[in-house]
Structure 1
Amino acid sequence: METPTLSADDAALVARYLAHVRVEKRLAERTATLYGLDLDKLARFAAGAGVALAAVQGHHVRHWAARMHAAGRSGRGIALILSGWRGFYAWLGRQGLIAANPVQDVRAPRQPRPLPKALGVDEAVQLAEHADEPGDPWLDARDAAMVELLYGSGLRVGELIGLDVAPSDGALRAGRGWIDLPAAEVQVQGKGGKRRAVPLGRQAAAALRHWLALRGEAQIRGGGDAAAAGDAAQALFIGRRGTRLTAQSVWQRLKRRSLQAGLATPVHPHMLRHSFASHVLQSSGDLRAVQELLGHAHIGTTQVYTRLDFQHLARAYDAAHPRARRGK
């Protein structure tokens, strides 16, 4: 199939626009290069349809977006291309070369929402029960308690690092949560300032008691800042220097622990939250309860776990039912 040839006028328009984004908008060279590739695609579509760039209409753009989608381009990729085209036509409008932007009301195909990645029950237990060899008892106790809370209570990483040892005026003012061991609950400060109480399982409570018995070995340092020192003294999870752990530190420690435990995939905090939700739903079938435990404002956010649960059931069916294995 012969490649459509760009007219001299269209090539000149594209060149002028790229000079504009490079010089006047001061876009990075790589960004300008990507714009050029997207506009080259637009110009070739237009040439193939026998229409000048300035004469392109909305129906043309919708047709070309559909062609890209049929060719396997993702919805996100198409959206980025359309964004580049939209900027080009906005510039043409400011030059007085077109009356309306043909890309303005064109949207990319919706991308299917990816399923959250969750561990199997055996993998989650393997991670929770792993101990460093030879390891550091202080770090091992802390990391084990973090895993038990993330998987056993479904906390977000921000909720985890925001936990204090006990309630205090400072925690309430700062919008932080805390551990209530006697009541076997975690008082969580979630998104949007919403508080919720999450049950604390037996294994998580035991891991926390073990961690709290060792926690005081760290030297609390506030760097001369009384407020920082006070925050560190209250923080449930701290580093060796006594400062409250960051989300990045939790990610790094969890990745390290999962690889040491022999899991095939590095684990991140939200994967444990997904695992918590999936396993509770598989056992109970109570979507509303999972919504409350996760602190989701809308049930629609939680419904993704019904798809994950069905995927689990489908795998079990494929593995167990004789009629499901006919293609093997």
Structure 2
Amino acid sequence: MNLSDTGRGLIERYLEHARTERRLAARTLTLYSLDLDKLAQFAAQAGVALAAVQPHHVRGWVARMHGADRSGRGIALILSGWRGFYRWLGREGLVTVNPVQDVRAPRQARPLPKALGVDEAVQLAEHVAEEDGSWLEARDAAMVELLYGSGLRVGELVGLDVAETDAAQRAGRGWIDLQADEVQVLGKGGKRRAVPLGGKAVAALHHWLTVRGQVAGMGDAAAALFIGRRGTRLTPQSVWQRLKRRSQLAGLATPVHPHMLRHSFASHVLQSSSDLRAVQELLGHAHIGTTQVYTRLDFQHLAKAYDAAHPRARRR
């Protein structure tokens, strides 16, 4: 029996195990099969049996895939499939060491978050999407001002109550405090933080609260700051839909989603203050490294300003 026959037999046995014991979906099994076929091809080219593959073989194959412009994420998924295969071989007593265990895919460059320019953010906030002055316009305007003015996550936004109550404390919800001009937010990991409310946000919230009673519901929704047409607490999906509609009506080139406004808040505060620690606290990031991505956005902003303004930067 040659190397390829032996390798194919092991792969078929593993895929049958994955299908019957792990109950993986057909699509997942197809992807595993393709990735393991690639492993068998690499092993055959190297003249080594699958059960004899060593870590240096795997690292070499990773380098080949990376050199062929395979993305870091794609390689990571392939390695995950290979790792599971060798884990199974180990349980079957066919290998003593998993050669893929400590091999990692090349790190992928972290994409920059998408943020609006200052003019675009203002255009979105000041656009009147509902010309009839309905409660919907008042609600949506307040949502935009909170997302952009305080950098909230969409989950934090929809979890806000009108005021601090024992029920809000017990349920782990946030609330607005218009007397202190701040919003009390319950963020990731159950961590609370206080974020200032800008003047525009305070005005928008006051206006929304004057018309909110038209649709206020019962039970949990009675305390919810943002509610929908049926009087229930607004969902993240509804916020996404309303922001997309508002950005289109405002004439923005890119549909806006809630996290884009959070990115815009962080980028614009950093551009004005250069205070990375303050931005970290306002966003509720546990680690400064998470916030540092906005320094790249800030540099990108400066580079564009330089290209547009400096006489020696202009290209012919």
Instruction: Name the TM tier (shorter chain).
Output: over 0.9
Q: Which moved more, 1:293-302 or 1:116-125?
A: 293-302
- Distance in 2 (CA, whole Å) between partners of 1:243 and 1:312 is 40
> Do structure 1's residue 33 and structure 2's residue 30 form an aligned pair?
yes
Task: Mark the CA change 1:209 to 1:66 in structure 2 (over 3 Å): closer, same or farther.
Answer: same
- Distance in 1 (CA, whole Å) between partners of 2:132 and 2:280 is 37
SS for the counterpart of 1:178 is: strand
- Provide the TM-score with structure 2 as the length reference: 0.94
Q: Which moved more, 1:10-19 or 1:25-34?
A: 10-19
**CA drift at 1:68:** 0.8
Task: Mark the CA change 1:319 to 1:75 in structure 2 (over 3 Å): closer, same or farther.
Answer: same
- Distance in 2 (CA, whole Å) between partners of 1:106 and 1:29 is 27
Which of 152, 158, 162 is the equivalent residue of 2:149? 152
User: Match for residue 59 of structure 1?
Assistant: 56
User: Match for residue 104 of structure 2?
Assistant: 107
Task: Mark the CA change 1:105 to 1:172 in structure 2 (over 3 Å): closer, same or farther.
Answer: same
User: Match for residue 270 of structure 2?
Assistant: 281
**CA drift at 1:15:** 2.3
> Do structure 1's residue 71 and structure 2's residue 46 form an aligned pair?
no
User: Match for residue 21 of structure 1?
Assistant: 18
User: Match for residue 132 of structure 1?
Assistant: 129
**CA drift at 1:136:** 5.9
Q: Deviations over 1:66-108 (max 9, x none)?
A: 1111111111111110111111112222222222111111111
SS for the counterpart of 1:63 is: helix
User: Match for residue 90 of structure 2?
Assistant: 93
Are the aligned partners of 1:219 and 1:240 in contact in 2 as well (CA < 8 Å)?
no
Which of 232, 237, 261 is the equivalent residue of 1:248? 237
- Distance in 1 (CA, whole Å) between partners of 2:227 and 2:5 is 65
SS for the counterpart of 1:197 is: strand
Q: Which moved more, 1:5-14 or 1:123-132?
A: 5-14
Q: Deviations over 1:239-298 (max 9, x none)?
A: 122211111211121111112211111111111111001000001111111112112222
> Do structure 1's residue 303 and structure 2's residue 292 form an aligned pair?
yes
SS for the counterpart of 2:176 is: strand
**CA drift at 1:33:** 0.9
Paired letter, 1:315 = K
Unaligned runs of 5+ in 2: none
- Distance in 1 (CA, whole Å) between partners of 2:8 and 2:207 is 70
- Distance in 1 (CA, whole Å) between partners of 2:190 and 2:29 is 41
Are the aligned partners of 2:216 and 2:227 in contact in 1 as well (CA < 8 Å)?
no
Q: Deviations over 1:103-132 (max 9, x none)?
A: 111111122222111111111011101112
User: Match for residue 139 of structure 2?
Assistant: 142
Paired letter, 1:289 = A
Report 1:115-126 matches (<5 A): 115-126=112-123
**CA drift at 1:50:** 1.6
**CA drift at 1:219:** 4.7
**CA drift at 1:20:** 2.4
SS for the counterpart of 1:196 is: strand
Are the aligned partners of 1:152 and 1:204 in contact in 2 as well (CA < 8 Å)?
yes
Which of 254, 260, 267 is the equivalent residue of 2:249? 260
**CA drift at 1:203:** 0.9
Unaligned runs of 5+ in 1: 222-228
**CA drift at 1:170:** 1.4
User: Match for residue 226 of structure 1?
Assistant: none
User: Match for residue 4 of structure 2?
Assistant: 7
SS for the counterpart of 2:167 is: helix
Task: Mark the CA change 1:310 to 1:54 in structure 2 (over 3 Å): closer, same or farther.
Answer: same
Are the aligned partners of 1:142 and 1:211 in contact in 2 as well (CA < 8 Å)?
yes
User: Match for residue 224 of structure 1?
Assistant: none
Paired letter, 2:290 = T
Paired letter, 1:233 = A
- Distance in 1 (CA, whole Å) between partners of 2:33 and 2:105 is 20
**CA drift at 1:135:** 5.2
Paired letter, 1:72 = D
Task: Mark the CA change 1:127 to 1:70 in structure 2 (over 3 Å): closer, same or farther.
Answer: same
- Distance in 1 (CA, whole Å) between partners of 2:7 and 2:305 is 57
Report 1:172-183 matches (<5 A): 172-183=169-180
Q: How many residues in Structure 1 have an aligned counterpart in Structure 2?
A: 315
